[in-house]
Structure 1
């Protein structure tokens, strides 16, 4: 649920990048952080575990303007991808308003993508949230690997695996070089803002 401060006339929205380990969640946030330095309100904080990270920072979107006279601040988070850090993932999802699910197009990651999406569904239920009603954007990351020898999944397969029932917007992306990182971000911001409008008086 969005945090609404009536005194300062500010709305704070929390967007979480979720997905399997090493799928590109952190790379997305690092690219956004570099690209929009001017609009970043706080330092990017990185909480390191042994082999994964949780990142977050506050972000003042460039072209959102005001909603019903309220300024909008976006909090962007990633979750650690490794399964053993599920308690942390669950914690990061508390108060979430919108989610980007970052799937890895490598064939070897197919099962992990599906498991991670199922776990997201379960973790949201902890907070009585329904994935099917949550603002959500799919991102099929690492499409640049299709030009290499690495075996990858085509988008049709990814859509069937992850999005056949959810039917949410989906982007092919290459977070390492910024491909479709910003369109993904803009889509989740606009979808989330539409969903929270009723919460603002």
Structure 2
């Protein structure tokens, strides 16, 4: 849920990148840090472990200021994908305002995708959030790898869900990363504008919210 401080006129939002291990959650965040040029952008905090897997979380803060002076900030988090770190995943997911679910496009990883998605639904329920109403985007990453599951098959499989159409991406190349984030911002705006009247009271229209937070610097860099 959004964290609003009327004394400071500050609204903080939390976005979590969730998915199975090694699906590309951290790479998404690294590319966003490289590609985005919002009004304000903090340093990317990345905890690197021996096996290149996220143990706790990564975090990227970005923000903008409305014409009323509202200080709007987004903090982007990843979670560890490994089952043994489920308590950490649940803690990071707590009070989330939006989720990007990063799935792996390789045929061998489809069961892991399903398990991770089921785990997301369970953990959202445990922290008091509803997967059917929470703004969310489903991204299928690693489209640059040969012999991935065909896009048409994936789109048809998810066609009857609230998250259709899916976003196809190669986070390693930066493809689909900003697009995933923009779609989430658009869905997130609808929900928080109803509560905080961003356009009417703070001069932050949907276009300003999406474009200023996801504006590209045009200087992408490869990520490992």
TM-score above 0.5:
yes
Q: Report if the CA contact (8 A) 2:32-2:177 is conserved.
A: yes
Using the TM superposition, name which of 155-164 and 106-115 deviates more: 155-164
The partner residue of 2:191 within 171, 181, 195 is 195
Q: Which runs of 5+ in 1 are unaligned?
A: none
For residues 102 and 58 of structure 2, the distance between their equivalents in structure 1, rounded to whole angstroms, comes to: 15
Alignment of 1:103 with 2:99, yes or no, is no
The partner residue of 1:165 within 161, 166, 169 is 161
Q: TM-score, normalised by structure 2?
A: 0.78
When the two structures are aligned, how many residues end up with a matched partner? 194
Partner of 2:208: none
Higher fraction of strand: 1
For residues 118 and 191 of structure 1, the distance between their equivalents in structure 2, rounded to whole angstroms, comes to: 22
Q: Which runs of 5+ in 2 are unaligned?
A: 198-224
RMSD of aligned C-alpha atoms? 2.2
Deviation at 1:169, TM superposition (A): 4.4
- Over residues 49-94 of structure 1, what are the superposed CA-to-partner deviations in whole Å (9 max), with x where a residue is unaligned? 5542121021126xxx638762321100001111111111101001
Secondary structure of the residue aligned to 2:187 is helix
Runs of 4+ with >4 A deviation: 37-40, 160-163
Q: TM-score, normalised by structure 1?
A: 0.87
Partner of 1:36: 36
Q: Report if the CA contact (8 A) 1:114-1:161 is conserved.
A: no
For residues 172 and 122 of structure 2, the distance between their equivalents in structure 1, rounded to whole angstroms, comes to: 29
